[in-house]
Structure 1
């Protein structure tokens, strides 16, 4: 049985949805950031990075969203969450998810976690002011060049759609102009209507 450590409102939502979409047997355990539970000795034994998500498997613990999504897709191929039979297509999936992880999510993190990059309080404020521009630019690239439609990879639903939906949950909070992202907003609406997504959102509410 897989066990996912998560916190509502974080990128762990993607792994949670992927598990539900895959039909995998799994349990969840909530980590409370408000009480700094992510840095408790107990949780650091699970994930020394002190972050979510973390997925406990029969082989050990996995961290980092792109890795978890790929693992879930490969472990439950019957769910068809990735083009596993096509090496190039699967690499394209990984490239998209890596962009979300390494660029878009990092831009978003400057709003609340500026201390990772600077020590001066004035720098934190400057980073926050840049969020609509930096996050907006990342989503603009997705809108223009990366979201093929109706799903990220075209006609087939994949783990890319799950990850993009998770990132798009933060658009309003990041002050991004939704009018400039009609494809992303439409994609988010269609994702929200999926039964697995509804079930996970209810569970994390």
Structure 2
């Protein structure tokens, strides 16, 4: 049975009434362990997560086990831009039907140098303390997409982009409707894993 959980924004922590719980959560953030890349740990376990919040670069949400306030996982959302040509020239885009290509590209507004604004999932990870049976990655991804859809109702937006390990794209993102639009260099020189960039058309979720 999946765990009962609630979402808490990092920006909300200091305003919560029970600061003992808050300090415990911050401690769990510093000690966070996961099976994903070192970049995930460098973000959530350091001041980087708070700096990103303070400067409005991203918003991070923690999934909290309601039974014992343990941190199950987290995701980070932000904004970025991508070359429209990178999307339309990708194999993933070419695999779409002409009807879908026309629908998703209709009215797309590009900058003078050909970029389009997109939402992004900067980080998404489950703690090593929990298994897929405890808390499937699909639950965390669904929550991330739900937050983006709420933002979309206020400010618009048509696409959600994610950089990920190739195996996570195959196991998680592709099954949620993301299409692969290119390769990505590993964040660390000694990292031999394969990475990719993929994008989700939010209109497809309406």
Report if TM-score (shorter chain) is over 0.5.
no
| Structure that is richer in strand per residue | 2
- Larger Rg: 1 or 2? 2
| Structure that is richer in helix per residue | 1
